[in-house]
């Protein structure tokens, strides 16, 4: 883990594109660094259906056969979200905690 792996953009309430977070990742099977103790919420996803041409998550499925046609079932390595916008869940919160909050504020992720 020596660089940002992914940028997280959303359309703000005013319609402009905003960088709302970044993700750091380690390769599958490797343990992440423990630089923040319990404050850093390293986790993995084992249920993503990814569109291989856009690398966007299109659906969630616990098995490859449950992914929609044209998507690929992916199990990620450990990842850490770092949010660049204020959230009640904190700067290192999981996306599942932050995205619903941002949607309520008028942000859009598509």
If one counts the domains in the chain, the total is 2
Residues 38 and 2 in one domain: yes
Q: Is the pTM of this model over 0.95?
A: no
Residues 67 and 95 in one domain: no
The pLDDT tens digits for 27-49 are: 988 989 888 888 888 999 899 99
Torsion of CA 23, 27, 33, 36, to 10 degrees: 30
Residues 38 and 54 in one domain: no
Q: pLDDT tens across 54-102, in order?
A: 888 889 998 999 999 999 999 999 999 999 999 999 999 988 889 999 9
Please, is 77 exposed, middle or buried when counting C-beta atoms within 10 Å of its C-beta (0-12, 13-18, 19+)?
middle
Instruction: Select from 32, 31, 45, 35 the least CA-distant residue to 95.
Output: 45
C-alpha–C-alpha distance, residues 40 and 79, integer Å: 10
């Amino acid at each position: 883990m020596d660089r940002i792996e992914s940028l997280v953009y959303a359309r703000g309430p005013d319609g402009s594109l905003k960088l709302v977070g970044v993700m750091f990742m380690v390769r599958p099977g490797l343990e992440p660094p423990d630089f923040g103790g319990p404050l850093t919420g390293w986790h993995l996803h084992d249920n993503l259906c990814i569109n291989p041409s856009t690398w966007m998550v299109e659906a969630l499925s616990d098995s490859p056969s449950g992914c929609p046609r044209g998507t690929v079932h992916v199990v990620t390595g450990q990842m850490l979200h770092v949010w660049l916008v204020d959230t009640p869940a904190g700067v290192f919160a999981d996306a599942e905690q932050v995205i619903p909050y941002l949607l309520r504020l008028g942000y859009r992720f598509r």
